[in-house]
Structure 1
């Protein structure tokens, strides 16, 4: 019997939602391992004296990319094993409405850009985060076909697994769903700037906007992990295209 067969059947669709709701199984050991690796591996990279390695000093952009690929790659494998049944089911759901999926993803991306722009304006204007500067520095030293797998495939899957699938889908078994939404948005934004920037609303604003729309997309599609991963990947794909076709440094304040 498969994991999905052993789970309770999903409830009927809610008004305004394009897919039925979902009942999740409880947290598993693989879920815990993925979260521990997601937190511990970046800390290990920061704490270990890697800057003494000659190959890192010789080409820091490539070294930064390879370290991030290694960290996210390990978590990606564990997360993919943990969520394989959920993700496969979600892909099948989206495949039953391919035109809807293809049409709504660009609209969600536009909504994400608008919401982010509004929050950034309310927070006091654009501030290029250290996280964004690090990504752009990597783009200057690494070709697009090297960075795209990490930014468009591996990264979105890992972050949607942690911040949507676990923090909303499974955590809502124990906490109020709206509280799970808030936790997901707050932690998603915070972990993108912690240790890199001053912890201010101006630094958080872009990630709060991104997280809010991803949470909405995940919840609106009946907790569809494949949809939120696709939306996150589409946004990152746009970022990759812009990084490699525009001189983004000219846009910085």
Structure 2
């Protein structure tokens, strides 16, 4: 096995971090504000709107994910080794953390009023209903969660906290995580962000609680997404008003 670099190097910003973060932000902003320009072309090339949406999301997350994995491979290797030394803890705490996420989100939604479904949420539901599970799971359960945990936990907390107070980094991580999922909506509202704020808060908590373990927060994020995917496939389209 290769030698893991010392912690100081693992949490130092590097050129690949800049490429991955810049690509993520640039593509996200383009999709939010200019993505409609590509929609007619994509729909003419692909059979359905769901296929076009899947192709865009796959290209987006795969391109960012390659640079993210290259930039964070040392942390990924270290964190997997740590989790492998305590398998029972991992197998117990990942599902419990997913349950905690659902509970916290429900509490936040109740405290702030009924949450409004975001365009992102509605788009994911439509995507899952129009694309086979064997294509959806790699995107929404593996690649997507890894990219988001790399950006919002590893970079914004793990690395940025070396320069900025960690509690500021945690707040920034949760708020930006929620905001990026509703960006581009007309009249950005707190109601649309509420479910993502609850989700982001729990992911921040488990990341910090496990000593900045990127792979643990990834497993929790992936577990929540897997649960959502299974529920959408299991429930009839009429349940969502389709």
- Whether the TM-score (by the shorter chain) exceeds 0.5 is yes
Structure 1 partner of 2:233: 244
Once the two structures are superposed, what CA deviation does each residue of 1:208-248 show, in whole Å capped at 9, x if it has no partner? 00000000000000000010000000000001101100136
SS at match of 1:5: coil
Pick the aligned partner of 1:101 from 87, 90, 96. Answer: 90
Pick from 153, 171, 185 the counterpart of residue 164 of structure 1. Answer: 153
The answer to whether structure 1 residue 114 and structure 2 residue 107 are counterparts is no
Q: How do 1:203-222 and structure 2 match up within 5 A?
A: 203-222=192-211
Unaligned 5+ residue runs, structure 2? none
Question: What displacement does 1:130 show?
Answer: 0.9
**Cα RMSD (Å):** 1.9
1:137 aligns with 126
Give 1:200 shift: 1.6
Matches within 5 A, 1:1-253: 4-8=4-8, 24-45=10-31, 46-47=33-34, 49-53=37-41, 54-55=43-44, 58-196=47-185, 198-247=187-236, 250=239
Q: Could you tell me which runs of 5 or more consecutive residues in structure 1 were left unpaired when the two chains were aligned.
A: 9-22
What SS does structure 1 have at the residue aligned with 2:183? coil
Per-residue deviation at 1:42?
A: 3.0
Residue 56 of structure 1: CA displacement? 5.3
CA distance in 1, matches of 2:168, 2:25: 22
In 2, the alpha carbon distance for the partners of 1:249 and 1:186 equals 33
In structure 2, relative to structure 1, the CA distance for the partners of 1:196 and 1:99 (3 Å cut) is same
Q: Deviations over 1:46-101 (max 9, x none)?
A: 52631231535741111001101001000000000000010110000000000011
Structure-2 change in CA distance of 1:202 and 1:219 (3 Å): same
Q: CA deviation at 1:121?
A: 1.1
CA contact (8 A) 1:130 1:197 kept: no
For residue 39 of structure 1, report the CA deviation from its aligned partner: 1.1
Following the alignment from structure 1 to structure 2, what is the Cα–Cα distance between the partners of residues 3 and 182?
33
Q: Contact 2:4 / 2:77 at 8 angstroms: preserved in 1?
A: no
Contact 1:129–1:197 (CA under 8 A) maintained in structure 2: no
Higher helix share: 2
Instruction: Tell me which moved more, 123-132 or 166-175.
Output: 123-132
Q: Write out the 4+ residue segments of structure 1 that deviate beyond 4 Å after TM superposition.
A: none
How does the TM-score come out when normalised to structure 2? 0.92
Structure 1 length-normalised TM: 0.88
